[in-house]
Amino acid sequence: MADQNAYTVVQQEDDKEQPTPQELRKALETQKDDAKIETMKKILLLMLNGDPLPQLLMHVIRFVVPSKNKALKKLLLIYWEICPKTGSDGKLKQEMVLVCNNLRNDLLHPNEFIRGSTLRFLCKLREAELLEPLIPAVRTCLGHGHAYVRKNAVLAIFSIYKYFEHLIPDAPELIQTYIMSEADQNCKRNAFIMLMSTNQALAVQYLNTVFDQIPAFDELLQLAVIELIRKDCQSATADKAKYIECIFSLLQSPSHSVKYEAANTLIALTSHTTAVRAAASAYIELALKESDNNVKLIVLDRVRELREKHERVLEDLAMDVLRVLNSPDITVRQRCLNLAMDMVSTRNVNEVVGLLKKDLVKTHDEDYEKNNEYRQLLINAIHGCAIKFSEVAADVVHVLMEFVGDTNNAAAVDVMAFVREVMEKFPHLRESIVDRLLQTFMDMKTGRVFRGALWIIGEYALTGPAIEESMAQIRQTLGEIPLLGSEQRLREESQTDAGPTAEIAAKSPTSTAPANARRILADGTYATESAFSTKSDMVGKSTTAAKPPLRSLLLNGDYFLGAVLSTALTKMVMRHAEIGSDETKSNTLRSEAMLIMTSVVRLGRSEFPSSPIDEDSLERVLTCLRTLSSLPEDELMRQIFLVDCRTAFTKLLESQDRTLKSKVADKKEVKVQADDAIIFRQLKSKRSGASGIDEYDLDITKATGLGDRADDLASKLSRVIQLTGFSDPVYAEAYVNVHQYDILLDILIVNQTSETLQNLTVEFSTLGDLKLVERPAPYTIGPHGFHGIKANIKVSSTETGVIFGNIVYDGPTASDMNCVILNDIHVDIMDYIKPATCSETQFRMMWSEFEWENKVNVNTNITDIRQYLEHILKSTNMSCLTPANALSGDCGFLAANLYARSLFGEDALANICLEKQDDGQVSGHIRIRSKTQGIALSLGDKITLSQKSVAAAPGKGASEIVG
C-alpha cells in the first residue's frame, strides 16, 4: 500500500551543498514562520530524494506542529505523508501518538481549510493505529457548515472503509443517511460514488428516490448516475426500462461529456432501432458542436462502429453526418466523407450527391484551408456514388468534367479516372461525355490529364462525326502542322524582326552593354530582348505560354504524351475505316494522323525540345505509323488496337470490383455462429463468473494494450533482454513491452552477493526521440535477494532509439560508489510501423512532396524476385500497392510500390526495382521516401539488416541519404 502515495520525485540541485541534519534542527528552532517554511521545503526535498531523516521527527513535532501558519500546516501534512511512521520492528513509532493528537485537533479546527486539508490527508493514511482515534472527529465533520469540509469528510470515510472496514463498519448506512439531507452537488457526488462502490443496493435505492431530479443534477453527479446504471444493468433485478428512460433524458444534457457517456451506455443497454438512432444523433450533434478536432474524430469513429452493427438503421442520418464537413480540419472532413459514403443508399443518394456538388462548386469559388486536398476528397466521394448508383452518374459526370482544367493535377487526374470508368460501365453516356470532353480539350493543362482524355477519345469516339470532331480538336490543340517546320519558321521570323533592332542598339552611343540578348526558352525556341524593341508582340509569339497546350507539352519533352496521342489517332483512323463509307475521308484522316506522328518524331529528334525523344516512345510512335501504312491488310494489329485494349481495361475494372467485394465480404464476417451456445444471464450461476464482459472494461483493456496480443510464453521470452553478465555482482534483465506510444521496461534485479546493497538505483538515458517518464527510486536489496523495477518511456516518433544506463549502489563506506554498466536496449522500429493502403494518386503526390530519400542496394542470395519482394514486405511491415495481376507472370524484372503508416501518422513510401541477372542473382535497389529523416534511415537500416540475415555474399547493402 505504501506505493500509492501520489507525490513526485524532485531532482535536487547537485551544485549546491546540502544541509546536514544538525543544521536543519537548528533552523527549525527559530521563531520565524517564514524560516520554518523554507526549512521544511529543504527537508521534504531531501526526503523525496531518498533520505528518510528519522532524527528530525521530534524536532518537527516540537517546533512545527504548534504553529498556526496555514502554509506551514500544509507542508506539515506532506511531511506526515512521506515520513517513516513505523520502526524497524514494523510497529508504529511512539512519537506518532503526538502526531495523532495534532491531527485530531486539526480535524476540529474552526478554519474549514485546515479541516478539509487534514481530511484529504487521511485519505492517504494507511496506518490503522493512527486512524482509529480520529474516527469520531471525521464523523463530526460530516455535519460541518462548509461544503469543502463535508465533501472531504465523505472521501476520508470512503478511504478508511475501503482499507480498514472494521474501523467504521456502518459507513454505507452513515453515508446513505447523510446524502438524503445533503444539498451541495459535489458532496452528493462523492457520497453517491462511495455508495456505488461499497454498497450498490443502497445507491440504487437512493437513485430511485431522486429519479425525477436526475436531469437537474450537475455534470459530475450525472456522470456518476450513468456509471451506476451501467453497472446495475448487469444484475437480473435491474429495472432496465426505467434506466433507458433516464438515459434518454440525459441525451438532451447541455454537457458534452454527459451526452457522450449517455449515448455509450444507451447502446450497451439496448439495440432497439430508436435507441441506436438517438445515440447516433447525439454523437453527430457532439461532432457539430465540439470545437476539439480529436473529439470530432472519436465520435465519428463511434458512429462508424454503430453503422457496422446496425447498417440499415443509420441510413437516414447520412445528411446529418455530412454537416460535419463544415469543420475546417481536413482529417475530420476525410473521416466524415468516408463514413457518409458507407451510409449512402438508393433512398438518399440524390441528396448526398447534391450536397457534395454544392461543396465542390464552393471549393472552386472560395478559398478553403487545404482547398486542393478537400476538392480531391469530394471528387473521389462523388466518383464512388456515381459508380455505385448508376442513376446519378449522368448528373455528376458533367459537373466533374468542369475540373479537368483544374490547376491541381491530382484532382484533374481523379476526374479523368472517373470519366474513364463511367464510359466503360454506362454505354448510354458515352456520346454526351465525348462531346463534353472535346469542349474542354483546350482547358487541360497537364500531360497526365491529356493522356487520359486521349485514351478515352481513342476508345469511345465510335461514330464518324465524333471521330472527325476529335481529329479537329487535336489539330487545334497541336497548332500548326508540321511541328518542326512551323517552329523553325517562327524562330527565323523572330530573328529577322530582331535584326534591325540590334543595329539600332549597336549605333546608340549611350549603350554601355549589349542591348540585345538572345535567350533560349524552356521549349527550345529563341527569344530576343531589347530595350529599344517596339515589336515585343512578335517576340512573345515564341514563348510557350502563347502556344496551344498539347504543342507546349511536346516541346517540354513529354514524349509519353506523344506516344499516347499516336495510339489514339491510330484507333480513330482504324475505326473510321471500319464504319465509314467515304473512303476518301478515311484516307484523308489517315494521312493527317501519319503527318502528326511524323511531326512528333521529327520534333523529338530536333534541338527545339528540352530533351530528345526516348527509345520507348519512339518505338511506340513508329509502330503506330507502320500500322496505319499497312491498312487494311493487317488484321492482327486491328484486333490489338480496337479489341484487346478495351478488353484489358474491362478486366482491370472487373478485378477492382472483385477486390472491393472481397473487402466488403471480409467486413461482414459472421461473428456469432448458428450453433453457438445461448447464454441466459438469469440462469447462470454466480460461481461461473460475470454474465458478460463490460464494454467499458474492454475499452480499458484495449487502451492498456492487454487485449492487443495474446502473448504466449515463447513470445514473452523472446522480448527478455539480458542487461548484465552472470558474473556481475548485480544481475539484471528486462522484459520490453511496447504499446503504442509507451515502452514499459519490467526489470528484474538480483543481488548475487552476500551483502546488503543499499540505495541501489537503475539510471537510464535515451538516444533518439525517447523520453524517460520518471526516474526509478532507490532500493535496498538483501543478500541474494531480488527486486522488480518498472520504467516507463515515452516515444514521440518512428525512429530507431537506444536505451542505455547503469546500476549504481553504495559501497561499504559512505564515499564508495559501485557501478554496473548495462547492455544497450535497441527499440525496434517495426513495433510502430503498420501496413496501410492509399491510392496511386496519393502515393505519387506524397512521393513528390517528401524530401528525404534513402536508397538501399539489393544484396541477397534469394534468386526469385517474387520471393525477395515477399521477404521485404515481411521484414518491413509494409503493404504492396501494386496489384497482384500486375506482378503475375514470369519476367526478369519487377517494380512495385510499398506503403506503410506509423502510429504517429508518419507515411513511409518505398519503390522496389528488381532485375534477375543471367547468373541467377537478383539485383536492383529500394528507394525509401518519408517526410522525416528518422523513418527513412530506420527503414533503410532494417532492410539492410534483413538482407544480411539471408545474404550469402559478405558485402553490405549500400545506403545513401539524399535531403
pLDDT tens-place string over residues 314-371: 888 888 888 988 888 888 988 999 898 888 888 888 888 888 888 888 877 666 667 7
What span, in angstroms and rounded, lies between the C-alpha atoms of 761 and 330?
48
- pLDDT at residue 544, as a whole number: 47
The residue type found at 463 is T
The reported pTM is 0.71
pLDDT less than 50: residues of the chain: 1-7, 9, 501-517, 520-526, 529-545, 685-693, 706-710, 951-963
CB distance 559 to 613 below 8 Å? yes
What span, in angstroms and rounded, lies between the C-alpha atoms of 544 and 524?
9
Contacts of 253 (CB under 8 A, 6+ apart): 215, 219, 222, 259, 262
Beta bridge partners of 852: 930
CA dist list (Å): 66 to 56, 70, 101, 406: 16, 11, 12, 81
Instruction: With H, G, I as helix, E, B as strand and everything else as coil, classify residue 702.
Output: helix
- pLDDT at residue 813, as a whole number: 63
- pLDDT at residue 13, as a whole number: 57
CB distance 563 to 617 below 8 Å? yes
CA dist list (Å): 115 to 97, 137, 140, 186: 19, 10, 11, 17
Beta bridge partners of 745: 736, 791
What span, in angstroms and rounded, lies between the C-alpha atoms of 196 and 167?
20
Q: Which of 761, 857, 858 is nearest to 810 (CA)?
A: 761
Helix 865-876 and helix 933-950: axis angle, to 10°? Answer: 130
User: How many residues belong to the chain?
Assistant: 963
**Centroid of chain to Cα 581:** 61
What span, in angstroms and rounded, lies between the C-alpha atoms of 321 and 337?
8
| pLDDT tens, residue by residue, 92-107 | 888 888 888 888 988 9
The stretches of 668-775 forming alpha helices (DSSP H) are 695-704, 713-717
What span, in angstroms and rounded, lies between the C-alpha atoms of 314 and 334?
19
- pLDDT at residue 669, as a whole number: 57
Q: Which of 564, 565, 567, 543 is nearest to 555 (CA)?
A: 543
What span, in angstroms and rounded, lies between the C-alpha atoms of 839 and 897?
11
Question: What's phi and psi for 750, nearest 5 deg?
Answer: -120, 125
- pLDDT at residue 348, as a whole number: 83
- pLDDT at residue 481, as a whole number: 82
Question: What's phi and psi for 156, nearest 5 deg?
Answer: -65, -45
What span, in angstroms and rounded, lies between the C-alpha atoms of 318 and 356?
12
- pLDDT at residue 778, as a whole number: 79
- In 858-958, the DSSP E strands lie at 879-880, 893-902, 907-916, 922-930
Task: Report the C-alpha dihedral over residues 686, 710, 231, 190, rounded to 10 degrees.
Answer: 120
Question: What's phi and psi for 828, nearest 5 deg?
Answer: -80, 125
What span, in angstroms and rounded, lies between the C-alpha atoms of 58 and 709?
53
* Terminal-to-terminal C-alpha distance of the chain: 54
CB distance 940 to 952 below 8 Å? no
> Hey, what's the cell of 210?
431522486
CA dist list (Å): 686 to 51, 231, 681, 690: 50, 16, 10, 7
Question: What's phi and psi for 455, nearest 5 deg?
Answer: -65, -40
Beta bridge partners of 789: 747
CB distance 421 to 460 below 8 Å? no
- Cα angle 248, 251, 254; round to 5: 145
CA dist list (Å): 123 to 120, 138, 157, 162, 416: 5, 11, 8, 10, 68
CA dist list (Å): 619 to 546, 625, 855: 30, 10, 31
What span, in angstroms and rounded, lies between the C-alpha atoms of 753 and 509?
100
Half-sphere exposure of 548 (CA within 13 A, CB side): 17
What span, in angstroms and rounded, lies between the C-alpha atoms of 894 and 892?
7
CB distance 530 to 502 below 8 Å? yes
CB distance 906 to 933 below 8 Å? no
Parallel/antiparallel/unpaired status of strands 907-916 and 922-930: antiparallel
What span, in angstroms and rounded, lies between the C-alpha atoms of 158 and 198?
8
Q: How many CB atoms lie within 10 A of CB 909?
A: 24
> Hey, what's the cell of 445?
493543362
Beta bridge partners of 835: 900
Question: DSSP code of 747?
Answer: E
Place of cell 509519353: 560
- pLDDT at residue 899, as a whole number: 93
- pLDDT at residue 700, as a whole number: 55
CB distance 603 to 609 below 8 Å? yes
- pLDDT at residue 524, as a whole number: 46
Question: What's phi and psi for 610, nearest 5 deg?
Answer: -70, -20
| Residue 565 CB burial class (10 angstroms; 0-12, 13-18, ≥19) | buried
- pLDDT at residue 543, as a whole number: 46
Half-sphere exposure of 360 (CA within 13 A, CB side): 27
